[in-house]
Amino acid sequence: MSTSFATDDLIHHGTPAFRRTNLALFAAGLATFGLLYCVQPLMPQFSHHYGISAAASALSLSLTTGVLAFAMLFAGGVSDAFGRKSVMVVSLLSSALLVLLSALMPDWYALLALRTLLGLTLSGLPAVAMTYLTEEMHAESIGLGMGLYISGSAVGGMSGRLISGVVADDFGWRMGIAVVGIVGLIAGLVFWRSLPPSRHFRPQALQWRALFARFAGMFRDPGLPWLFAEGFLLLGAFVTVYNYLGYRLMAPPYNLSQAVVGLIFAIYLIGTFSSAWMGYLAGKLGRRKVLWTAFALMLAGTACTMAAAVWLIVLGITAITFGFFGGHSIVSSWVGRRGGAAKAQASSMYLFSYYMGSSVAGASGGLFYAKEGWQGVALFVGAMVLAGLLVSLWLYRLQPLAQTVTPPTPMSKGAMP
């Protein structure tokens, strides 16, 4: 079959195949981000159970996101050789099994080893989902398909935190992780059964020289490296706040329960609105005119968290969450527009920087918490957000490029959401 296939052979809106694909991708987003973030509200319990510091406890997430960042650079190439659906199915099912096993680990270092391996197995889905949609779905239907995947991701990020936190309050952290693992396994099976097989995939070898040439070419662009930095700062600040929020609220004078702290993570759902709304504003007014407002909102929210009143802390967390999702929506779409012929690699590098922010800043925040408590964390996060605000003001002056970053070369695509 030619690589130029007929449009009636693609998945269209309103068909049974379209509904199956959307169900599968929603389940995939739910599983991936639930399995990734389920440990975040449990970090204070890890510190108590294993006798470790807040910074050491944060490694349960930072190691996962650090490995995930590197692995996603190459997972698209693996799918070029072994197929889109097979790589995604193995990614989801193996990740759910690893999370289930981690609930049984008696030793902290064994738990960290499994969480590190989880970063490798999880990389297969976010790195390949967009490529699958591009190959299999009609252009008029891709937007809705990706929207449902992102919605599943937001729900998964929230539910993984919420389920593990609430269950752990009554049954312990091991049961909290196990329940999330079971939910992830069920979602993985739904994905496997629901996603239509690839009909337009053609195996091809990864051309390493062309791949690295495109990665190098991106750093000659005057805007892309700064957009990558924005991704690092956005997720770094966001994850740091959520990593150490539980430590503060479960300690005096608040003494909130694990379940109540877990419920606060429901604020995460505000991202499903803010990403779409700020994305709309960016499309109407221009990314340059809107991006800085996301960082300004996060900065104001960070200042609110330094107050003593719980309602102000919650207001601050809400502002940080709203600004983060809006900023991520704007920056990620800007990267795709500016990437040109190297769009897939630009998206890969953006996600690499994005998850490295989670890994590096998320772990480093524990050092500030150990020395200065929440005020130290807030100052650390505030510095990152202020840096992001200054970069966004510089990007305001950036001129759009009509040309692509590098000339096109025949190679495999590893597009990412």
Quickly tell me which residue has 């997430």 as its tokens: 61
- What pTM does this model have? 0.83
At residue 279, the pLDDT reads: 79
Tokens of 403: 């040309």
Cα–Cα distance for residue pair 89/96, rounded to 1 Å: 11
CA 272 vs. chain centroid, Å, equals 13
Q: Residue 343 to residues 204, 217, 233, 272, 398: CA-CA distances in angstroms?
A: 19, 11, 21, 24, 19
| One-letter identity of residue 328 | H
What are the 10-residue block averages of pLDDT along the chain, 417 residues in total?
Answer: 53 81 87 94 94 95 95 78 86 97 95 97 83 74 66 81 90 96 96 87 65 69 90 96 94 90 82 79 84 96 96 96 90 78 72 93 95 96 98 84 42 33
CA proximity to 399, closest of 279, 224, 281, 223: 223
At residue 215, the pLDDT reads: 67
Spatial neighbors of 46 by CB under 8 A, at least 6 apart, are 39, 52, 57, 60, 108, 173
At residue 409, the pLDDT reads: 34
Q: Which residues pair with 137 in a beta bridge?
A: 11
CA proximity to 177, closest of 27, 32, 35, 30: 35
b or e along 302-331 (b: 16 or more beta carbons within 10 Å of the residue's beta carbon)?
bebbeeeeeeebebbbbbbbbbbbbbbbbb
Domains in the chain, please, with CATH?
A: 11-206 (1.20.1250.20), 210-401 (1.20.1250.20)
At residue 2, the pLDDT reads: 39
